[in-house]
Amino acid sequence: MTDPLHIPCPHCNGLNRIPAARLGDAPKCGRCKAPVLLNAPFELQQGDYASQIKGDLPLLIDVWAEWCGPCKSFAPIFEQAARQLSGRCRLAKLDSETNQQLAGQLGIRSIPSLILFRNGREVARQSGALPLPQLLEWLRSQGV
């Protein structure tokens, strides 16, 4: 029997204990009762960051801005990846314009930027938009 995974809720930041075997059962948050695992990226805000990078399921953050053409063209690819990776990796979008302090803290120099977190620590970073097959391969090379 495997230990439960600790996964933050994308809605209320509550930390949930979910058995690995139940990840495919659409688990709900014990605090707010909303779905814990989404098949779409969720919006990450400055106040959510510390809670959301924690947990046993990796978190991939897409740092973007409204004015960025490559960011806009990458958005549907990131959404497709979220559908394919549901239950294996959580995907979030961080608007660098509305969260300038956090973008600076993360050392963002160009957008779009992808940052992969596991257990509260950054484990990989990629700048620029990627086609879906390359994005999935990059994540596989990181153990996702």
Active site residues: 68, 71
Distances (CA, A) of 144 to 12, 24, 49: 25, 16, 20
Residue identified by tokens 């300038």 is: 100
Whole-angstrom distance, CA of residue 110 vs CA of residue 77 = 18
67: phi then psi, degrees, rounded to nearest 5: -80, -5
Q: Under the phi-then-psi rule, with left for phi > 0, alpha for psi from -120 to 50, and beta for the rest, what region is 88?
A: alpha
The DSSP output letter for 139 is H
Whole-angstrom distance, CA of residue 91 vs CA of residue 62 = 8
**Bond into 76 cis (ω within 30):** no
